[in-house]
Amino acid sequence: MSTKVSDLTAEELNTLIESAIDRKLSEWLGDPDEGLDLKVELQERIARQRQDFATGQRGRSMEEVRQRLGID
């Protein structure tokens, strides 16, 4: 099914434009860190975080972080 731009809401159009810009910038700029080596410690931390995420662990809540930092 084809959708006309005139049928989109302002929010849908905004999302569409942002997505197109993100894709284009990624094509043009690529990954600025591509080819750089990561320290072993960082590689291990990323692997742990991916495993935690895969098992449903999502870290601290925003409320916990705010309380820890004393932000009201």
Residues 6+ apart with CB under 8 A from 60: 68
Domain limits for position 33: 5-69
Residue 69 — pLDDT band, cuts 50, 70, 90? very high
Q: Is the pLDDT of residue 72 over 80?
A: no
Mean pLDDT of the chain: 89
User: What pLDDT sits at residue 24?
Assistant: 93
User: What pLDDT sits at residue 1?
Assistant: 62
Domain count, the chain: 1
**Once rounded to an integer, what is the mean pLDDT over residues 35-59?**
90
**Once rounded to an integer, what is the mean pLDDT over residues 35-56?**
91
If one compares 18 and 3, the residue with the highest pLDDT of the two is 18
- Rounded-to-integer distance, Cα 55 and Cα 60, Å: 15
